[in-house]
Structure 1
Amino acid sequence: MSTPEPPRPRPRLRVLGYVAAWLLAATAAVSVGVIAVSSVGASLRDRGPTVNEAIAQAQRTDAGDGRLVPPVDAERVRGEITDEFGAFVVECQGVVATGVSADPVDGWRTVSFESGPDDDVDAVFSKGGRSIEVEVFCNRGEPTVSDLERNELPDLEDD
């Protein structure tokens, strides 16, 4: 008598196993990449803390307005961002930014001004068909420009 052969794995089952292993490896690789970029990326770019870190380091008010309250022992550091529009004065206490003033020079006007306190504050200045938006956050307690956007409206001529 001959001994029966052991059952062979089905090729379809083997392919499904490979696909499942590949999906698991791809998911792990993407997860590691996202964690690495989010935790190390901001410090490598010298961009300061992320919004979540700012919220963790400061406290939201109980008034329901969503404003941040700086840590009690945080040093106040005032900075002035100047450009052709004039000056935007911002004060930092740790990661909490407060817009102090938006002071346009002659010919420019302040369109909007966010005083905070928040994780970042901004001001928009305009002159004719041009506008400049300045966004400032606190990088290691120092006012730092995170975004400066220059816009120009197209010339609208009557035909």
Structure 2
Amino acid sequence: MDKIKRVQSAIARFSLAIAAAGLSTIAVSVFLSVLCRYVLKISAMWVEQYTRYMLIWVVFLAANVLIYKNTLMRVDFADKIWPKAFLRVREGLYTVLFVVILCTLTWQGWLQAQSYWGVPVTGLPVDKFWVYLSVPVGSFLMLVQYLLNLAALFCAQKSGGANE
């Protein structure tokens, strides 16, 4: 189980580092755009496209950390009145549903990204493939974190450890 947690932590740290670098480039590009517009009186038209697409990448890259830390938003105000057996079944169903959704999102996202190979982004010198690739990459990282959470849970149950 310790190896699983180390792998999860490494994935989370790596994706957060890439996301932080992306956010940094967004901040720098917006600052330079404002500087160019109001000081140099020229417009950097590519900044709007770049910031939009980079923000999508940042969100998809960082989303797996929420799954790793089990901090996804949930409605749990009534959990104290439900029996523990019901809560376990509900969590199991949620997990299966999320795994199915993430598998579908990864596969369909990949197909969508492939369909945009060779289609340029207006205002940027890249293909739309690289923009749409954020969906399968991000959903795959989320799927990996879910599966690793499940593996850690089964290892903890086999060894008699407490659930987290």
The structure with more radius of gyration: 1
**TM-score range with shorter-chain normalisation?**
under 0.3
Q: Which has the higher contact order (CA 8 A, sep 6+)?
A: 2
Choose between structure 1 and 2: higher helix proportion: 2
TM-score (norm 2): 0.23
Choose between structure 1 and 2: higher strand proportion: 1
